[in-house]
Amino acid sequence: MEGEAKKKRELHLTFAEMAERSISKRFRSKLWSPFVSAIKTYRMIDAGDKIAVCISGGKDSMLLAKMMQMLHRYTEKPFELKFLVMDPGYNPQNREKIEANAERLEIPITIFETDIFEQTDKVEHSPCYVCARMRRGHLYSQARKLGCNKIALGHHFSDVIETTVMSMFYASQLQGMLPMLRSQNYPGMTLIRPLYKIHEDDIIAWSRANNLNFIQCACRFTEKNFENEDGSGSSKRQEVKEIIRKLKRDNPNIEKSIFNSLHAVCIETFPGFKANGKPHSFLERFDEENSELS
């Protein structure tokens, strides 16, 4: 009888309510718990915050929007939300898909237009880098117009790991991705990454479980290259994804080890490092120690 009553209750749930239930029940340990943990651990939200949740239309930002909506509903700490969608020049099909998914998930989005794709289409070198910077600038600007003091982006655990490895392999530096940082160009604005502890594979599993189909990058430069549900294509990031996948076969905990190492950096063992944009050498400390002994 109890099972039949449960089925009857589920029949009256909307699609959005079913998606929320999957987050809080089936995927609680993989999605909801690490989401709440990241927000608490890194103190991302304060009472009175007005947060612009930035939605690109992909799986990560849509899940972020849904969980921020749930948190807003259940938390005892009052804050406001704006669900912000920037259209950088999507084709009609992708624009419609974003709007349809938002409607199905009952996320009240605010859309604003830009011509970023048109501008970056003319860029010969590093168009993705230029596009990312322009997107960030437009989002900060629009969030400020809406009176927000924080913007939330959908970068997840896997992004953190891949960015760290990419910086070492291709940029000759050790650089991480912070869960929260203040904007240098927009005083009073803070960026937060609430999916910081959530694995991309678990986001994909949630999407599949709810039969959700999201857009990929969708820009003119890369949309033809995107073949996989994880948004990977012909890029350095994809190369790193493949490297990590291969390493995980022998060491399933390698991502966790990389993530934990970012929280336990031993500066004293590095021959060089940067602080506030200024390079430093271990020789500075070595000379200081030597002068103290003299």
Q: What is the mean pLDDT of each run of 10 residues along the chain (294 residues)?
A: 57 91 97 98 97 96 98 92 93 94 97 87 74 87 95 96 92 92 92 98 97 78 48 70 93 94 91 90 86 67
Residues in contact with 200: Cβ distance below 8 Å, sequence separation at least 6, in sequence order: 60, 156, 157, 158, 159, 230
Q: Which residue in the block uniquely carries the two structure tokens 């589920």? A: 10
Under DSSP, is residue 30 helix (H, G, I), strand (E, B) or coil? helix
Q: What pLDDT shows up at residue 9?
A: 58
Nearest to 115 by CA among 134, 101, 100, 143: 134
Ranges in the chain annotated CATH 3.40.50.620: 10-263
* Secondary structure (3-state) at 110: strand
Is the CATH code 3.60.15.10 the one for domain 10-263?
A: no
CA pair distance 77, 174, nearest whole angstrom = 36
Q: Which pLDDT does position 224 carry in this prediction?
A: 46
The Cα–Cα gap between 26 and 206 comes to 9
Please tell me the distance from the alpha carbon of residue 102 to that of residue 109, in angstroms, as a whole number: 7
Look at residue 232 in the predicted model and tell me its pLDDT. 44
Residue 226 is predicted with a pLDDT of 43
Residues 6 or more apart in contact with residue 259 via CB below 8 angstroms? 157, 160, 161
Nearest alpha-carbon partner for 114 in 92, 89, 97: 89
**E strand spans, 157-243:** 180-182, 190-192
Give the pLDDT score at 236: 84
What is the distance between the alpha carbons of residues 250 and 97, in angstroms, rounded to a whole number?
39
Q: Which amino acid is at 219?
A: C
pTM of this structure: 0.87
What is the structure's pLDDT at 290?
76
Report d(CA 32, CA 189) in Å as an integer: 26
* Residue 48 in tokens: 């009175």
Asked if residues 231 and 216 have their Cβ atoms less than 8 Å apart, the reply is yes
Which tokens sit at 280? 């430093």
User: Taking the mean position of all CA atoms in its chain, how far away is CA 269?
Assistant: 30
pLDDT of residue 256: 94
Angle at the Cα of 131 from the Cα atoms of 279 and 56, rounded to 5 degrees: 115
CA–CA dist 103, 109 (Å, integer): 9
